[in-house]
Amino acid sequence: MTTNATAIAHTNIALMKYWGKADSKLNLPTTSSLSLTLDEYYTKTTVEEGPEDKLYINELPQDSKRVHQFLNVLREEMGDFPPFTVISVNKVPLSAGLASSASSFAALTAAVAKFNNWDLSNEELSRLARRGSGSATRSFFPDFAIWEKGDSDKTSYAHHIDVPDLPIALVVCKIAGTVKKVSSSDGMVRAQTSPNYQAWVDESAKQLEEMKAALQEKDLEKVGQIAEANALAMHELNLTATDRRFTYFNQNTMKVLDAIKELRAQGYLAYATMDAGPNVKIITNQEQAPAIKEALAKRFRKIQFDIATPGPGISYE
């Protein structure tokens, strides 16, 4: 008899962002999004039978409400299963501003499916994981994935896209170690009150087609340009929200963004993307990543820089 099950999911960074919900109960997004799974950061999650749904991260007990609610969604969808102790080891540094909810909910969904012997494809697992956290839909697949927004619970899930031999790399800046002040879910609600919101959604649909073409053409310069435009426009929505406008930027964010422009002027391939925090991730290629990291580390002595490369899909132990 199975007594526990373990799955490993790597985190992903959106090159085309998910930033708004069409249905908050089902977690349907307003846009399709496109991501790169990262090798360096992952969550390993084991589920074992109860006494009650309870979450531990890196051995510390956590507020288990969100996990308990998600497990109840899975029970409703798939049929009952026992209460679970969920034991997660998180190798996603919170200070890197990478969404640990992506790898966490993907690993949890896969571990629960394995425990219960559900025979599901990665796309079906992705659909279920969406109810835990939107970005988790994309963490089942290696390298590049698209979360198709769909228009219903059945049609909104992610799938892999094949882009062989694209030497993409990210230089991840670890600017702030503090926990984010505005959660993604709350930030999206507020951003959706921007008068520019619908224009961002419309533009995103066009950019997604351009991005897919740029990936197939292996045009990393174009990939970077589109990703940066999409991300900076997303952050503009936060500033122009009519309900409690806000920003994730701090002074260092602006300084790093300026430095990226300068690196470009010097001929480097370097474009910025940012999520729900002050950290900047620089899209570049594997050849230039070490030089970019070194140039920035010299200039910003208090900021730490990591290099991240394409990573694997879901796996089991």
Using CB under 6 A, list all residues that contact ligand DP6: 14, 17-19, 27, 33, 99, 101, 133-135, 184-185, 275-276
How far is 67 from 53, CA to CA, in rounded Å? 8
Tokens (6 digits) for 135: 């970005």
Nearest CA to 241 among 187, 286, 167, 185?
Answer: 187
How far is 57 from 14, CA to CA, in rounded Å? 24
What phi, psi does 199 have (nearest 5°)?
Answer: -65, -40
Which residue reads 């300026």 in tokens?
A: 258
Nearer to ligand DP6, 102 or 292 (CB): 102
Specify whether the CB–CB gap between 193 and 242 falls below 8 A. yes
Nearer to ligand DP6, 116 or 313 (CB): 313
What phi, psi does 76 have (nearest 5°)?
Answer: -65, -45
How far is 316 from 135, CA to CA, in rounded Å? 20
Shortest distance, position 231 Cβ to ligand DP6, whole Å:
8
Shortest distance, position 276 Cβ to ligand DP6, whole Å:
5
Shortest distance, position 41 Cβ to ligand DP6, whole Å:
13
Distances from the Cα of 270 to the Cαs of 83, 145, 301, in angstroms?
47, 22, 20
Shortest distance, position 14 Cβ to ligand DP6, whole Å:
3
3-state helix/strand/coil string of 55-70: EEECCEECCCHHHHHH
Nearer to ligand DP6, 257 or 297 (CB): 257
Shortest distance, position 301 Cβ to ligand DP6, whole Å:
28
Shortest distance, position 261 Cβ to ligand DP6, whole Å:
22
Distances from the Cα of 52 to the Cαs of 13, 66, 82, 117, 154, in angstroms?
33, 14, 8, 21, 29
Shortest distance, position 275 Cβ to ligand DP6, whole Å:
4
Nearer to ligand DP6, 87 or 99 (CB): 99
Shortest distance, position 106 Cβ to ligand DP6, whole Å:
11
Nearer to ligand DP6, 6 or 133 (CB): 133
Nearer to ligand DP6, 5 or 149 (CB): 149
To the nearest 10 degrees (0 to 180), the angle between helices 122-129 and 100-115 is 120
Nearer to ligand DP6, 114 or 138 (CB): 138
Q: Give the start-end residues of each E strand in 175-300.
A: 271-273, 281-285
Nearer to ligand DP6, 185 or 315 (CB): 185
